[in-house]
Structures are given as structure tokens and as C-alpha cells.
Amino acid sequence: MAPAPDDTLKASMRAVLLISALLSVVLSSCGGGGGGATPPAPFSPPPPAKKGKYFTHIVILIQENRTFDNLFATFPGADGTTVGKTHNGTLRLHESNLESPVSPHNGYAPWVQDYNHGRMNHFDLVPIGKIPGTYVYAYVKPAQIKPYWDLAKRYVLADHTFQTEGSGSFTAHQDLIRGGTEVDSQHNIIDFPSSAPWGCDAPPGTRTSLITANNQWQQYHDQGPFPCLTYSTLRDVLDAKQLSWRYYAPTVGQSFGGDLWNAFDAIKAVRYGSEWNTNQASPETKVFTDISRNTLPAVSWVIPDYQNSDHPGDNSDTGPSWIAQVVNAIGESPAWQTTAIVIVWDDWGGWYDHVPPPGRHRFGGLGFRVPMIVVSPFAKRGYISHNRYELGSIVRFVEDNWNLPRLGTTDATSPDFVNDFFDFTQQPRQYVPIAGKYSKVYFLNQSPSNLPVDDE
């Protein structure tokens, strides 16, 4: 994600969130004011999801800010490492807790420094305040992320999946709904908007930053458009074929995740259209409701609450269990036989990774590696793919499954993983639940984090 806002923005956001919370309490105690509380609308199930070429449902579970080496450095057979390059030699990666007390820097500027023209040896030159840059040479203790390892052992782990851009969460979440952030033929959005929320709900005067094809970006800092964008996304091509979709995310204006990670808050046609109240589903735990009712849409994006996101600095170890319980809910439902689940981490989070992004570096990309796990009754068993993929490959997977037109971003150039990850000649595998430290009931009863937006 992007560098932390300055102290003025931090104070402003805390004040806004405090006022919002107080107002919410007042309205609740007053029955919403005037006519009392409005009763919930009766449940009206959406049309059944339409089967595609391979699957009826594709579910994209998005976690936060981890490189492949940070989570899978020692996974048997994968391209991980426990030794990192520094500006003056090498350094052994230290084993660490999933709960990191600080969040490493991971905007485009530190990315450029870490990357160092493909040498991948300047991570130690990017300190985190008073903490030395060597802090990011770390891998998480496997026992603390056992659900991820268990899923990888049973299904497919892709160890050469790259971010579309060497940037943070704003662009990564846009990439996962459209494959790129180009606003015209010469400029892409990079990094993060100047104020939160990161979307149409941002304060007036909020700007994005831009980067050119040859990676000129400093002169375009805060020179991009207001983050309420009009470009096409998967929503447009899904709607055109009357295919259902939902974006499950924390509530905008009330939480870190809702303010920063709701990609469709930055899409004008959704934010100011009827789909904001139907296809955008908050809180994110509504995904369990749709699974239990067997009303899972054709395409789902599931965004966690901050405390369940694996984000460094969240002071929580619940992320692996969150993923396990969503996957378990699908695996134990009628949807299992016709579903593919893609688990991906949105960006590198500032952590060390040893594999340089391949190809010509344009528009700030490709970025560093992120883990990707694919779960399905037709997924190859315990398969590690060493083939190159990127976030645009996930967009392409959705398009190809329902024969949708290309959006003309990296979806048109990203490698396709269908023939690599799946074996459709095998009998669909029976689902075996993944053990997690925290249960589904825990997440259904969990209070939202509602943290102020003052972290990386």
C-alpha cells in the first residue's frame, strides 16, 4: 500500500471517523430520526449464476501486502529463498510472526529503490522510520499461516505471479477489476489518491498520481484525476451478458478496508448507480449469507476487514483463518462442484522478494511477486506452477470463462492459467475442510475494526 498520509490528514481522518461514529450512535438511539428505524427489506434472491465454459462461480479472495518469499520462502518445491541480497552482500532472512508491529513502505518510490534496475538488492536501504531496512528480510513462521500452506499442499500454488504495477493497494485493487489503470494512452494511475476514502467519496480536491510508459512519475505526483473514474471494468462486460457479480467489502466511511480497498468506490457508474446498493455488499461477511442461501453470484470479490487482511501492523493473526472459513463455507455448499476460488495478495507490502519482475518495465510494472493459491474440485492436487502470471491473468480467467470481450488492458496480454491449474478429466474432488485457529462464528460475531486511516 501507499505511504502514510501526513499528520494533518491523520488528524482529520480521526476527527471525521469520530464524528461519524458519534452520529451513528445518536441516530441509532433516536431510531434513525423522525419516523423511526426502517425495517430491513425482504430478501429477494438474485437470478441464478450462469454456468460458464469451466465454472459457474469464480470467487476472488484478496489479502494484503505480502510477497511470495514472505509467506512461502520455505515451502517445499516452491521458488522461495531464505537468503536475500543487500546493497553490500547478502543477508539471511529471519523467521518472523505474521503480526508485524510496523508496515514497511511500499509506494512506487521505495519499489524503484528496492528493485534497483532488476538487481533486487536495495531493500535494506529503505528504512521504516527508525527501524532499519533489513527488517523486511523476513518470512512468516509456517505454523502461523498453516491454512495457507494446507491449501497450497492440496490445490495449486503459483510461485511466479506478479503485481501488474510496482505500487500499492489502490492500483492493485483496480487491476483486479480491470487489469490496469490507464486513464489515456500515455498515462496510468500510480500509487494512491491524496486523501481517503480512495474513491468517489474522497473529499473535493483529492487527486491521483500518474506515471508514463517510460516511468516518468515524479512530475505527475498528485496531477491525476479525482478518483471517481469512468473507465470500463469487468462490471461492464458482466452486466452486458446479464452475469451476476458482487463486491463484498467493509463499509466505506467506517473502516480502513472500506475506505482504501473498495475498488468500485472509485468507479463512478457503480458508486452513483443502483448497483452500489445491490452488487456492492457491505459488510464483507455477507458473503457467508450468500453462500448459505446458495445465491453466490457468478463473480465475487471478497475484501477482508483490516484485522483479517494479513496487513502488516494490524496486530492480528486472524487472516489465515478468515480465508479458511470462506473457503470452507464454499467447499461445504452446493456451489463447491462448480466453483473456482482464487486467493491472491494484492501487493508486495514492502517485504523482500528475490525474483526480479520479467519483461520490459513500463508504466511502473510488472511489480514484485505475490502469492496466488487456486482452489477448485478440478484443481491439480498439490501442484506448484512455476509459470509466469500476473493480476491481469485473473481478469482474463473471468473473461474466458464466460466468453466476455477483452477490456484491452493487461487482460489481453497476461498469460492464461486454465490449462495449467486445472484437470477437467478428473472427477470433482470432495472438499475436506481446512482447519483454522478461528471459526466462522468468530468472524460473524467479530466487531469491525473501524480503525482510522493512518497506516501504510
Sorted by where each starts, the structural domains of the chain and their CATH numbers stand as: 7-445 (3.40.720.10)
User: What is d(CA 248, CA 301) in angstroms, rounded to the nearest whole number?
Assistant: 6
pLDDT digits (tens, 9 = 90+) for 286-307: 999 999 999 999 999 999 999 9
DSSP letter for each residue of 415-455: PP-HHHHB-TTSPPPPP-PPP-SS-HHHHHHPPP----S--
Give the cell for residue 148: 495457507
Quick one: average pLDDT of 425-445? 97
User: What is d(CA 96, CA 135) in angstroms, rounded to the nearest whole number?
Assistant: 10
Count CA within 13 A, CB hemisphere, residue 19: 6
pLDDT digits (tens, 9 = 90+) for 78-122: 999 999 999 999 999 999 999 999 999 999 999 999 999 999 999
Q: Are 136 and 159 in contact (CB under 8 A)?
A: no
Which stretch of DSSP H or E encloses residue 94? strand 94-96
* pLDDT at 46 (0 to 100): 73
Q: Which residues pair with 365 in a beta bridge?
A: 362
Burial 22-45 (b: 16+ CB within 10 A, else e): eeeeeeeeeeeeeeeeeeeeeeee
Burial 108-144 (b: 16+ CB within 10 A, else e): bbbbbebbeeeebbbbbbbebeeeebbbbbbbbeeeb
Q: Are 344 and 372 in contact (CB under 8 A)?
A: yes
Quick one: average pLDDT of 250-257? 93
User: What is d(CA 244, CA 237) in angstroms, rounded to the nearest whole number?
Assistant: 11
Nearest to 114 by CA among 77, 138, 85: 85
Query: What is the CA angle 345-349-353, rounded to 5?
Result: 90
* pLDDT at 448 (0 to 100): 85
Q: Helices (H) and strands (E) in the chain — how many of each?
A: 13, 16
DSSP letter for each residue of 56-75: SEEEEEEE-S--HHHHHTT-
Which whole-number Å values give the CA distances from 27 to 23, 32, 36, 283, 437, in the listed order?
Answer: 6, 4, 9, 19, 36
| Stated pTM of the model | 0.90
Burial 357-395 (b: 16+ CB within 10 A, else e): beeebebbbbbbbbbbbbbbbbbbeebbbeebbbbbbbb
Quick one: average pLDDT of 10-14? 39
β-strand pairing of 372-375 with 156-158 = antiparallel
Q: Are 169 and 346 in contact (CB under 8 A)?
A: yes
Cis peptide leading into residue 283 (ω within 30°): yes
Q: Which residues pair with 83 in a beta bridge?
A: 92
Which whole-number Å values give the CA distances from 33 to 16, 19, 26, 142, in the listed order?
Answer: 21, 17, 9, 51
* pLDDT at 450 (0 to 100): 66
Residues 6 or more apart whose CB falls under 8 angstroms from that of 442 comprise 318, 321
pLDDT digits (tens, 9 = 90+) for 366-424: 999 999 999 999 999 999 999 999 999 999 999 999 999 999 999 999 999 999 999 99
pLDDT at 13 over 90: no
Under DSSP, the state recorded for 323 is H
pLDDT at 221 over 90: yes
β-strand pairing of 372-375 with 339-345 = antiparallel
CB atoms within 10 A of CB 196: 28
Give the cell for residue 1: 500500500
* pLDDT at 47 (0 to 100): 81
Task: Quote the percentage of the chain above a pLDDT of 90.
Answer: 87
Task: Quote the percentage of the chain above a pLDDT of 70.
Answer: 89
CB atoms within 10 A of CB 57: 24
